Amino acid sequence: LLMSDSAWENDGDGGVMRPCTTCSAFRLVLGALLVVALLQLLYLSFLSGLHGRQQRSRYSELFGAAARRPDRPSEADAARLERLRYALSAGGAFDASGQYRVYKNLIRSEAESERPLLALATHASVSNLHHLDSLLGRWRHRLSVAVFAHGRDVGAAAALLYALGVFCPHVRALVDFHLVCGSGEAAGFPERDREQFAGLEDCAGAFGRLEARRDEHRNYAIGANVSYPNNLLRNVARGGVDADYVLVLDVDMAPSADLHRRFADMAARRRPAADEVLVLPAFEIRHAGRLPAAKPELLRLYQVGEVRPFYEELCPRCQAPTDYSRWLNLPGPGAGPLGVAYTLTWADPWEPFYIGARSVPPYDERFRQYGFNRISQACELHVAGFRFSVLDSAFVVHRGFKVQGEFHSRKDEENRRNRLLFRSFKEGLKSKYPNSSRRC
C-alpha cells in the first residue's frame, strides 16, 4: 500500500521523519478486509452460477428431449414430451355445448397398452388435485383423472400434471390425465411455465406445490362466472381409460383396500350382468387420516361415531336406499370373497357410487355446479332397466364429515336451477326409453 504524507511521524531528534507504524498496521488490516470481502463476493458469485446450472439442469430434465433419467431411457422422455407437445398443439376438442375445451389423454400412463379389468375415474380442479396423492395410496391401479382449469390455472395445469409424471413414478405408471378448460382458453406448452418447477426436486415437492393451492378455491366456487362441469369431467375421465369396468368417485373419496383384486376374483366367478351395476355403500369419516381398509375396521369406527353414512347430515335421503342397517348387520366378518349381498330397485333421490360396465349411460353434461348431477345419471340407469346390486364388504369413504355451512354461497341457487333442469331431464327420458315402464 502507498503511504501518503500524513503517514509519517517526527522522530523527536532534530525533525527526522520516519514511517508511522500505527498507520501502516491500520492499512494492512483494511487491505486484508478488502481481500476477504472480494473473496466472499467471488464465492457468492460461484454459488449463484452453480444454482443456475442446477436449475438449468432441472429444466433440461423436464423439457430436454435428450435428457437422461436413471430409471427411464432418454428415448421415453423424448417420446413423452413430444406427445404432450402434440396434444397441446392440436388444441383439444370442444364439448357438445361448445363451452369447454377438452384435452383428452393429455398425459398417458406407461400402462396405457394394458387393458385393465377395473379402473377408477375421478375429477378435480387444480386446487383440489392434491387429494390425488392419498387416493393413490389406497388405489395402486389404473386411474383416469379429468382436471378442470380456469384463467391463470390453464397455463399452469399442463406444467403441474407433467411435473407429477416426471417426479412421481407411481403417477407416471398408472395415471392418465385429461384437461378441461373454457372454450375461449387454451393450454400452452409447459416450457412457457418454467416457474412452476422452480425448486422442485422430487414427488413430495410436486404434491406439496399442489397442496399449497388447496385453499385458493373449491371446485364449485372457482369464479362468479365459471361453472364447474362435473358431469362433463366424469364422462371425460370415464371414457379416457379403456377398462371393462369403471368406478367413478370424487377425488376426495377412496375405496376400501384391495378392491381391485377382490373384484377380479369375483368377476372370475361371476361377471356382472349387462343390466347390473355393483353398488359400494358410501360413508364419511371424521378424521381423514384414518381411512378404514376393510369392513371390520369400518364397523368399529362406525360404532364409536368416527364413521357415518355419506351425506347423513346434508341429505340423508340421497343415500338411505342403500339400506345401511341391513348392510352393516350382514352376517360374517366381511373378509371373505367379495359378493353381492342384495339387489335393489332405484328410489328417488338415491345417488349411489357403483362399479359399472362401459355400456352404462353417460352422465348428462348439462348438469354443472351443485345439485342433481349424479342423481340424474342414477335415474336414467333405473329407467334404462338397470338393477343395483349392493356388494357385501366393499365400500367407499369420503375424507371428512359433510356439514352444513361448508358450501359456497351460490349452492342453493345452483340447486334450484338444476332442480328445474332435472324435471325436463325426466321428461326427456320418456322419449329416450319409450318401451320402459319405469319412471323417476
51 pLDDT more than 50: no
Please give the share of the chain, as a percent, with pLDDT higher than 90.
58
Give yes or no for a contact between 159 and 197, defined as CB atoms under 8 angstroms apart: yes
49 pLDDT more than 90: no
How much is the average pLDDT of 38-61? 52
Residue 197: predicted pLDDT: 63
* Interior angle at CA 361, CA 243 and CA 318, nearest 5: 105
Residue 152: predicted pLDDT: 82
Quickly state the pLDDT bin for 19 (edges 50, 70, 90): low
Give yes or no for a contact between 319 and 378, defined as CB atoms under 8 angstroms apart: no
331-340, 351-360, 399-408, 424-433: which range is least confident on average? 399-408
Choose the most confident range, by mean pLDDT, from 82-86, 225-229, 282-286: 282-286
The predicted-structure confidence for 395-409, as pLDDT tens digits, reads as follows 999 999 988 766 666
The predicted-structure confidence for 266-283, as pLDDT tens digits, reads as follows 999 999 999 999 999 999
Grid cell at residue 10:
517526527
Which residue did the predictor score with more confidence, 188 or 131? 131
Average pLDDT of the chain? Answer: 84
Which runs of E-coded beta strand occur in 28-167? 93-94, 100-107, 118-125, 143-148
- Coil, strand or helix: which one is 77? helix
- Coil, strand or helix: which one is 92? coil
- How many Å apart are CA 334 and CA 254, to the nearest integer? 18
How much is the average pLDDT of 180-191? 85
Residue 21: predicted pLDDT: 57
The residue count of the chain comes to 440
Give yes or no for a contact between 189 and 88, defined as CB atoms under 8 angstroms apart: yes
Grid cell at residue 320:
338411505
Residue 200 DSSP class: -
Residue 387: predicted pLDDT: 97
Among 161, 181, 109, 166, CA closest to 140: 109
Give yes or no for a contact between 25 and 51, defined as CB atoms under 8 angstroms apart: no
Grid cell at residue 99:
363451452
b/e map 367-400, b = 16+ CB within 10 Å:
bbbbbbbbbbbbbbbbbbebebbbbbbbbbbbbe
Beta strand pairing status for 8-10 and 17-19? antiparallel
Residue 83: predicted pLDDT: 84
Grid cell at residue 203:
414427488
b/e map 41-62, b = 16+ CB within 10 Å:
eeeeeeeeeeeeeeeeebeeeb
Residue 60: predicted pLDDT: 47
Residue 169: predicted pLDDT: 92
Quickly state the pLDDT bin for 18 (edges 50, 70, 90): low
DSSP annotation string for 335-373: -S---EEEEE---TT---EEEEETTSPPPPTT--SSSSH
Which H helix or E strand runs over 285? strand 282-285
Beta strand pairing status for 276-280 and 387-391? parallel
Give yes or no for a contact between 128 and 218, defined as CB atoms under 8 angstroms apart: yes
DSSP annotation string for 169-197: HHHHHHEEEEEEEETT--PPPGGGGGGGG
How much is the average pLDDT of 289-298? 92
Residue 390: predicted pLDDT: 98
Give yes or no for a contact between 74 and 66, defined as CB atoms under 8 angstroms apart: yes
Residue 78: predicted pLDDT: 72
The predicted-structure confidence for 238-276, as pLDDT tens digits, reads as follows 999 999 999 999 999 999 999 999 999 999 999 999 999
182-196, 327-341, 415-429: which range is least confident on average? 182-196
The predicted-structure confidence for 205-232, as pLDDT tens digits, reads as follows 989 989 988 877 765 667 667 889 999 9
Among 323, 322, 243, 250, CA closest to 279: 322
Please state the pTM of the whole predicted model. Answer: 0.82
Residue 242 DSSP class: -
Bridge partners (DSSP) listed for residue 123: 146
